[in-house]
Structures are given as C-alpha cells and as structure tokens.
Amino acid sequence: MAKEINGAEDLIQEEDLQVGESSAMEADVNDGVYVHKFSKPVVFEDKTVESLTFNFEKLTGRDVRMVSREMKAAGLVVLMKSVDDDFLTRFAARAIEEKDIDVDIFDAMPCKDFNKIVSVARRFL
C-alpha cells in the first residue's frame, strides 16, 4: 500500500518502512540482549550512565503479569500493552542488567533514546 507523505509527489511503500525498521532493530538485538548507547550521557541518581544493557530473554510471563499488577495497583489502566509507554518502560526496566538502575531512569533520558528503547521492548512482547 502506497502512502503520500506531506503532500510530496513521491510515494513511499509502507511495507518498505516496516521492513527497514525491523531490520535495523534486528541488527541491534542479539539473542534477546540489547545494548543501548545513549546519544549523550544520562545523569541518574548522581551517576553518569553512558549505556544500558537490556536482557529481554531473561523475562518471563510472570514479569509481564507483575508489570500489569504494578500498574493496576498504581491506578493506571492499560488497554494495549504493546502501545502503552508506561507498561513498556516498566517492562524494559525489568530487563536492565546494571545494578541500581530502575524505571525512573526513563524520566531522565533524552526522548530519542526513550523512544528507541521502548521500540525494542515492544518487539519482545
């Protein structure tokens, strides 16, 4: 299906965009482990963090259920896990390998990095 973008005469194939994005993600993730290098160092709880390692392979269905329970307990409603940023950040936080880093780091990171990590987490649901 072709899609016109910003009134441009050139048409871009929607499938090409999805394939390109998927291929880029696969190049970044090896055996369920994703190492994210921040676009600029993030200061979090008096520490400077330049990269984080996410091991999504270690997560289980229990982790997904626990994130859902945490969110319900906080009064947050999730309609679709795969598009809910709060759910995805909590899910990704469970995959962080570095000690003393938790979900709150997502509030400190640049938007570009946040979006990249959330996109990677979405693939593992």
Mean pLDDT of the chain: 83
The answer on pLDDT for 1 being more than 80 is: no
Q: Are 75 and 83 in contact (CB under 8 A)?
A: no
For 112, counting Cβ atoms within 10 Å of its Cβ (0-12 exposed, 13-18 middle, 19+ buried), the class is exposed
Supply the DSSP string of 11-43, one letter for each residue. EEEHHHHHHHHHHHHHHHEETTEEEEEEEEEEE
The answer on pLDDT for 25 being more than 80 is: no
User: What is the pTM assigned to this prediction?
Assistant: 0.76
What mean pLDDT is predicted for residues 58-77? 96
For 49, counting Cβ atoms within 10 Å of its Cβ (0-12 exposed, 13-18 middle, 19+ buried), the class is middle
- Separation of alpha carbons 43 and 113, rounded Å: 14
The domain limits of the chain are 1-30, 31-123
How far is CA 109 from each of CA 39, 50, 73, 117, rounded to the nearest angstrom? 9, 10, 25, 10
Give pLDDT, residue 30. 75
